[in-house]
Amino acid sequence: MRERQDIIRPILPGRDYKYGNVRVIFIIYIVLLFFLPKIRVSVSSNALAFTVLQIKHSLNFHKCQTLKFFNGIPVQKEPTQGIGGERLLKSLILTNRDDIEEIKYETNGLDSDRDGQTREKAPPPFIPKFCFLDKKILRFFAYFEESVTLDGKTNIKRIRYVEIHYYLVDDTISVLEPKLQNSGLNQGTILKRHRIPRTDGDEWENFWHWTDFNLGTKPIFYSKEYVITNCDKFTRLYLEEEGVKVEPFLEAPKDSYVNNRHKIDYPNKNINKLIITSPKLNRYIKNDLEVLRFYATSRLPSYPLGQKENQKYIIYFYLSDHSIEIRENRNTLDSKEPFGKFLSRKCIQKHFDGHKFECMPSENRSSRTFYSPEDFQIGEEIEILKKRFYIYDVDAYTSKFYRDKYGIKMSMNQTNTKNNPNGKKVMTNYPPRTGVQIGTPEDTLQNCVRLIPKPPKKDIKNIIDNLGKTLRFEGILHSAWPSDTKRKFVFTYYLSDNTVSIFEFCPPNSGRKSGKYLERTRLIKTQKKIDGEVDYYNLSDFYIGARLNIYTRQFEITDADKRILQFI
């Protein structure tokens, strides 16, 4: 042990070697610097702590290649490796994501979490001016005065309203004039988009800028003065954000010529409005074509050979002039003479004294009292020209009129039958169609109804509303033949005229050809209506599972397209 300590003692620092310690440390530093190629160290927040992590010997001192040719041009790329193939500091930092997230920049742009770094914060990316100013336009509303000659003699001042568009991306200006109907001027683009120079006398100065525009300013473009009166919402917000105080709105003067043309094209409705002062004339205009209808009975005179039952009448009360007309409520089975009018239309006095009365105004008309709607009530008698009538029913319009105007509820008894007193509808038997059946049943029926036949009426509104609209159904044929059970048909229903066409779809190798099975026509039902008229299939007869008897063939609807669900 003593011999080993004597060997180590000249090298290690001791009490007897005061100046030898410096030499030993210097020699060790030189050896480590030249003979050891790589030393990896870790520097912590404590600068005094120094720890040797790894010492690695390497004999490779090659440098990374950075020179190359690209498209025949020599270029230099950024090195990816250090000397000897070692990893660079940049690649070491990028591989450790946790270390990147811990980096926090202070307000001065330096990293305070890592000691010794003085890198500044990266500046924001450069954005050109045209990127955020593109398609941003300031719009000002203005006007200018112009002298116009009418008929070659008269000169008048016209007010022309324009829009000044300022394009922020390149400081260009365009002036547009909206087109007005019947203005008599060539309107549209007045100044195309370009930079408009400012003039001061005869010398050209700078160009117009958006800071020169505000409400109330009067810019001069090529010796023509414009007055700015208003701007749009975006322009107002942009100017306020830039610190410009926007002046209040100015009202532009009106063009006299345009106003006169507007009065001619759109006249005032109050000019031709009829001012009615007479209450009777006002009542006539307001209630024209409005008639109240009352059903009444009256006892007939007791003649020895005459009828002893009551006669039915219909009393018509015209609201326009309060005139009354009475007609007999004839039945179709009556064998009386065709004199249905009992009293012609006229104004009836309540208390008739036998003198001559007339509907038109006269001198003593104001002293008379005539019948009004308040005098007619269900269940009461009314005397007209010394004849008493008992009112037992009214129509729907009369009931609504009394309910809305007077608050009186008149219940309709539904006992009046105009055609038949027993309430049964009279059947009219028409002869069957014989011979050559030309035309539809409606066409041939007109020969039985009228001496001079007229074409049947069509529902024009339904044709216009549903023109070109179709609904499709799928069906099968019920037949005793097994080969017919697999046949499939497509029913096309046309909503405009309620016609149907049938198309047969045959699969390949079925022995049949696909094609039209039935031409577009109205399908007649086997059962007729109660009155004997022909009944047709309509849309309510087409649904999934419905059975249709078409010319002695039984069809069944099995499916429908999606449009039917939307239509329903």
Same domain? For 307 and 258 the reply is no
Asked if residue 542 is part of any domain, the answer here is yes
> By residue range, what is the domain housing residue 535?
456-567
In this structure, are residues 9 and 20 in contact, taking their beta carbons and an 8 Å threshold? no
Asked if residue 483 is part of any domain, the answer here is yes
Mean per-residue pLDDT, 395-422: 70
Same domain? For 255 and 147 the reply is yes
Same domain? For 223 and 158 the reply is yes
Residue 338 has pLDDT above 70, yes or no: no
User: Which CA distances in Å does 534 have to 65, 442, 449, 524, 537?
Assistant: 101, 9, 15, 7, 10
Same domain? For 248 and 342 the reply is no
Number of independent structural domains in the chain: 3
Q: Which of 19-23, 108-112, 127-131, 316-320 has the highest mean pLDDT?
A: 316-320
pTM, entire model: 0.34
CATH number, position 234: 2.30.29.170
SS3 assignment, position 137 = strand
Q: What is the mean pLDDT of the chain?
A: 76
Give the C-alpha separation, 391 to 94, whole Å: 106
Same domain? For 136 and 243 the reply is yes
More confident residue, 114 or 170: 170
Same domain? For 207 and 292 the reply is no
Q: Which two tokens stand for residue 551?
A: 């010319």
Same domain? For 391 and 471 the reply is no
More confident residue, 353 or 423: 353
N- to C-terminal Cα distance for the chain?
113
Asked if residue 357 is part of any domain, the answer here is yes
Last residue of a domain, one of 346, 375, 405: 405
Same domain? For 141 and 255 the reply is yes
Asked if residue 268 is part of any domain, the answer here is no
Rounded percentage of the chain residues whose pLDDT exceeds 90: 18
In this structure, are residues 389 and 375 in contact, taking their beta carbons and an 8 Å threshold? no
Asked if residue 300 is part of any domain, the answer here is yes
In this structure, are residues 427 and 532 in contact, taking their beta carbons and an 8 Å threshold? yes
Asked if residue 220 is part of any domain, the answer here is yes
More confident residue, 29 or 202: 29
| pLDDT value at residue 133 | 87
User: Which CA distances in Å does 404 have to 317, 407, 408?
Assistant: 17, 6, 8
Last residue of a domain, one of 405, 436, 470: 405
Same domain? For 138 and 252 the reply is yes
| pLDDT value at residue 90 | 64
DSSP at 172? E
Q: Which two tokens stand for residue 219?
A: 């810019």
| Banded model confidence at residue 328, pLDDT cuts 50, 70, 90 | confident
- pLDDT, one tens digit per residue, over 160-216 is 899 999 999 988 999 999 988 767 778 889 999 999 988 765 445 688 999 999 999
Same domain? For 359 and 472 the reply is no
3-state SS of 184-253?
Answer: CCCCCEEEEEECCEEEECCEEEEECCHHHCCCCCCCEECCEECEEEEECHHHHHHHHHCCCCCCCCCCCC
Asked if residue 76 is part of any domain, the answer here is no
Same domain? For 294 and 230 the reply is no
Same domain? For 244 and 293 the reply is no
In this structure, are residues 398 and 296 in contact, taking their beta carbons and an 8 Å threshold? no
More confident residue, 473 or 562: 473
6 residue type, one letter: D
- pLDDT, one tens digit per residue, over 387-407 is 888 888 888 888 888 888 888
Last residue of a domain, one of 405, 436, 466: 405
Closest to 327 (Cα-Cα) out of 312, 310, 317, 342: 342
Asked if residue 77 is part of any domain, the answer here is no
